[in-house]
Each structure stands twice: as C-alpha cells, then as structure tokens.
C-alpha cells in the first residue's frame, strides 16, 4: 500500500516532508516515490492538513456480479454510442466547415465518454477482474493482424489476479 | 400557470414567476418564450424542458418485447466496444497509478478503434439524431428496467448520466440543423470529461450540471 498525493489538493504545507521517515514525499514533481515509501506507514496521510494523501490499495475484492440482462442492455447502448462517435469523427475530418468540424469533435468526445461509462457498467470496471483477464486472453488467442500482443501480454503479467 | 422542468439539470421554469432578472416578466407563457431561451443554470435549449406533472413514464409506455429480442441477437463484442472498454480500463489504471498498464490498455484501445467498421462517407449529423432517437425512445428504457430490476446502482447511475447527455446532444443537434454554423459562431463548445455533457457558452459551467464534477474536468473543444 504505497501513499499517493493528489497534487490538486496539496497546499504545499509540507508537513508530510517532516514526518516521512524515508524522504519518499520529498520529490521535485510532487509524486510520492513508491520505491522509498514504507507500505502501511501512513505517517504522511495522518499529517497532511489538506487530506491530500491517501494509500492506494494493493488488492481489490471481486467486483459486483453483473446480470445478463443488464450486460446486454448496456451493450446495446454502448454500441450505439461507439457508432455515433465514429460518425461524428468522420464528419469531423471530412466537413468543409471549421464550426461543423468543431461541433462534430465535441460529439465524438462526448460519445466516447458515454460508451466508456456505459460499458464499464457491463462488467468491465476493474482492470484486475477475472472478466477483464478473460477478455485479454481471448484477444491474444484470436489475435488479428497487427494486434499489439506485447501490450496484452504485459497486462496479463502485471495485473494482479483477484484472490477469491 | 404551468411549470417546465429542465431534463438536464432539474431547473424548473415557473410561468407564474417568470425570470425577472433575465428580463422574463412574471406570467410569461412557455410558448411566448423565445426559441433562443436556454436554461439559466445549465444552458440546455428550450426543447430539453418537459411540462411538469405530465412527464410521460416511458418505462410503462414502451413495450419491451421487441426490444428484448433485439438485444438477444448481439453476441460477440464489436471492435468499437472493445476499444471503449480498453480506454475506460486505461483510465482505471491511471487512477491506480499503474502507468505501464494504462499505456498497454491505450494501445489496445487505439488498435480496436481503427478496426471499428468504417462509416460511409456520406453520413451526416442527421444520422446521429436518428440513432439518438432510438437510444432515447427505446434502449434507455430497456436498460433502465434491467438495471432497476437487478438493483444495479452503478448501471442506473451510468444510464441516468448518459440519458441526460444524449437528450442535450439531440436538442443541440436539432438546433444546429436549423441554425447551422451560426449557432456556435461566436461562442465556445465544452465537453465534460467525466459524463460527456456538451455545453455551449462563452465560459464553461462551474460544475457539470449532470455529473457535478468541477470544471477543471471540462474540456474546451478548439476550432481548427
Ligand atoms: S502535507 Fe499535504 S498539503 Fe502539505 S505538502 Fe504534504 S501533501 Fe501537500
Ligand atoms: S506512507 Fe510513510 S513512508 Fe510512505 S510516503 Fe508517507 S510518510 Fe513516507
Ligand atoms: Zn438546466
Ligand atoms: Zn459531467
């Protein structure tokens, strides 16, 4: 459980610098040095007057089970949003009008946000979950041409399995 | 005297009260408000408002029989879906400070984005309106029902946000069909990074009217 500082909340009051036994909080880019941080120490979390530091969990419990009807209904919408994104992107590259291109770009971005959120709620919330691992495994097995296999394999190796 | 509620942020226009500080006198009827009327709190256009009390309960009006058949025919994940799943997992990794994993999910997301079935070159914004109609008239109510029946709060939350965002986009698109580029000519376009809400205005809202995130998470879309 390493500490993590939310730079946006940090008021640079520097109490964490005084209490950290290893100097992990004292970095020029404000990101706490995970290599130096003592797991479970929490001294900086307690000291910070701005509540800017929290401990990142090492393990995650298995996520809520999703029902098939929910998954299917979310996917119908997710697909629709992905297609709308694609249409908007096409217009954003092909239109002659800069204003239309700008509006289409906004619509594309908006649809990506919605598709991500809707499909996350179809059971793909947690990167470490069994369902996500399965998806990556299937992708590797059926790897189409040009598929970034290295990236997929890195994910299988690095993402911790959930212990049930 | 009637009341009209903004379907995006919940603001209520009361005919009896008007909005004197915006130059709208008390007792101004809804139909006498200009078509340019926008929600004073979230800038949603006039058509995003619904008459209070008479708001149709879409979940009971729409039959789900056909729609259920429709969703059963979808089996495998499409490239587009995989892309969105991977880009959302990349964000999940970013929150956990897993940089390498984030980059890998991004690579997968980009790969499948390119693989997404290309759209015919003659598509127009009108095609998006048609898809939004289907989402709003059918798919959202099916999904809402399923999420409610299974007490899936996460799914319900995602549907509530994106239904509002879709309503806003649809009304902006309808306005754009009428007004064309003029609609945006002298103003800015913003998109919320979290829920995707599109807002039009000179400045971004302080907090997103839909998901309530502060505006450092709201992105200005540049004109190039
Ligand atoms: S104690 Fe908190 S506010 Fe002060 S420098 Fe450390 S993180 Fe920032
Ligand atoms: S948890 Fe302890 S070791 Fe880690 S940064 Fe905070 S004070 Fe330093
Ligand atoms: Zn509003
Ligand atoms: Zn938002």
Furthest C-alpha separation in chain A: 60
Which parts of A15-134 are beta strand (E)? 53-55
What range defines the domain where residue B91 resides? 79-115
Residue B176 located in a structural domain? no
Decide which of B70, B100, B115 is a domain's last residue.
B115
Which residue, A36, A58, A80, sits at the end of a domain?
A58
Phi, psi for B66 (deg, rounded to 5): -60, -45
For a mutational test of ligand 2's pocket, the pick from A22, A35, A47, A48, i.e. the residue with the most ligand atoms closer than 8 A to its C-beta, is: A22
In this structure, which ligand is nearest to the CA of B48? 3
Q: Which residue has the higher pLDDT, B67 or B50?
A: B50
B38 Cα: distance to centroid of ligand 3 (angstroms): 8
Picking from A58, A79, A104, the residue at the C-terminal end of a domain is A58
B41 or B30, higher pLDDT: B30
Are both A136 and A120 inside the same structural domain?
no
Q: Is the pLDDT of residue B36 over 50?
A: yes
Domain of residue A33, CATH code: 3.30.70.20
CA-nearest of A111, A94, A113 to B119 is A94
For residue B155, what are its two tokens? 């799914």
Query: How confident is the model over B182-199, as a mean pLDDT?
Result: 95
Angle at B128 between CA B125 and CA B130, to 5 degrees: 115
CB atoms near residue A10 (< 10 Å): 16
Number of structural domains, chain B? 2
What total of structural domains would you count in chain A?
A: 3
**Binary contact (A124, B100; C-beta < 8 A):** no
- Kindly identify which residue of chain B lies nearest to residue A68, measuring between CA atoms: B146
What are the pLDDT digits (tens) for B144-182? 999 999 999 999 999 999 999 999 999 999 999 999 999
Contact B77, A120 (CB under 8 A): no
In a domain, B84, yes or no: yes
Task: Identify the domain boundary among B71, B96, B115.
Answer: B115
For A27, the domain range is 1-58
Residue A94 and residue A104 in one domain: yes
pLDDT band per the 50, 70, 90 thresholds, residue B54? low
pLDDT in tens, A6-22: 888 898 878 999 999 99
Which residues in chain A show pLDDT less than 70? Answer: 162-164
Q: For B134-140, which contacts have Cβ atoms below 8 Å and span 24 or more sequence positions? A: B134/A80, B135/A77, B135/A80, B135/A81, B135/B166, B136/B163, B136/B166, B136/B167, B136/B170, B137/B58, B137/B62, B138/B62, B138/B67, B139/A73, B139/A76, B139/A77, B139/A80, B139/B67, B140/A77, B140/B58, B140/B166
B4 in any annotated domain: yes
> Would B189 be classed as within a structural domain?
no
Which A residues, 118 through 147, put their C-beta within 8 Å of a C-beta on chain B?
118-122, 124-127, 132, 135, 139, 144, 146-147
B104 closest CB neighbour out of A113, A118, A155: A155
Does the pTM exceed 0.95? Answer: no
ipTM score of complex: 0.84
Whether residue B196 lies inside any domain: the answer is no
CATH number at residue B47: 2.20.28.10
Interface of A with B in 31-60 (CB under 8 A): 34, 56
The answer to whether residue B11 is domain-embedded is yes
B91 assigned to some structural domain: yes
Q: State whether A47 and A8 are in the same domain.
A: yes
Please tell me whether residues A28 and A69 are part of one structural domain.
no
């Amino acid at each position: 459980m390493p500490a993590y500082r939310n730079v946006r909340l940090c008021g640079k009051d520097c109490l964490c610098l005084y209490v950290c036994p290893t100097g992990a909080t004292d970095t020029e880019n404000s990101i706490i040095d995970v290599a130096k941080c003592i797991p479970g120490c929490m001294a900086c979390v307690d000291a910070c007057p701005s509540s800017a530091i929290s401990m990142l969990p090492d393990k995650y419990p298995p996520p809520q089970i999703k029902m098939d009807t929910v998954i299917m209904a979310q996917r119908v919408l997710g697909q629709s949003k992905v297609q709308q994104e694609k249409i908007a992107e096409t217009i954003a590259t092909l239109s002659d009008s800069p204003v239309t291109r700008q509006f289409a770009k906004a619509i594309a971005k908006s649809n990506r946000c919605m598709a991500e959120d809707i499909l996350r709620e179809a059971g793909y919330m947690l990167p470490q979950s069994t369902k996500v691992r399965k998806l990556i495994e299937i992708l590797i097995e059926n790897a189409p041409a040009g598929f970034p296999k290295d990236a997929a394999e890195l994910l299988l190796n690095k993402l911790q399995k959930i212990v049930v | 005297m009637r009341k009209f509620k903004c379907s995006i942020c919940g603001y209520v226009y009361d005919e009896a009260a008007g909005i004197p500080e915006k130059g709208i006198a008390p007792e101004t009827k809804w139909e006498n408000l200009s078509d340019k009327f926008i929600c004073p709190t979230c800038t949603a256009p006039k058509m995003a408002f619904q008459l209070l009390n008479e708001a149709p309960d879409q979940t009971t009006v729409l039959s789900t029989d056909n729609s259920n058949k429709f969703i059963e025919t979808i089996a495998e994940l499409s490239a587009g879906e995989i892309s969105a799943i991977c880009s959302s997992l990349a964000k999940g990794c970013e929150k956990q400070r897993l940089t390498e994993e984030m980059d890998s999910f991004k690579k997968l997301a980009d790969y499948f984005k390119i693989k997404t079935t290309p759209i015919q070159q003659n598509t127009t914004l009108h095609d998006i309106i048609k898809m939004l109609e289907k989402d709003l008239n059918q798919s959202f109510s099916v999904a809402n029902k399923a999420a409610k029946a299974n007490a899936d709060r996460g799914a319900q939350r995602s549907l509530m946000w994106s239904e509002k965002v879709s309503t806003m986009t649809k009304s902006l698109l309808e306005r754009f069909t009428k007004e064309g580029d003029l609609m945006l000519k002298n103003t800015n376009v913003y998109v919320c990074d979290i829920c995707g809400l599109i807002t039009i205005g000179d400045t971004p809202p302080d907090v997103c009217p839909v998901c309530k995130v502060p505006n450092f998470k709201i992105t200005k879309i540049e004109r190039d």
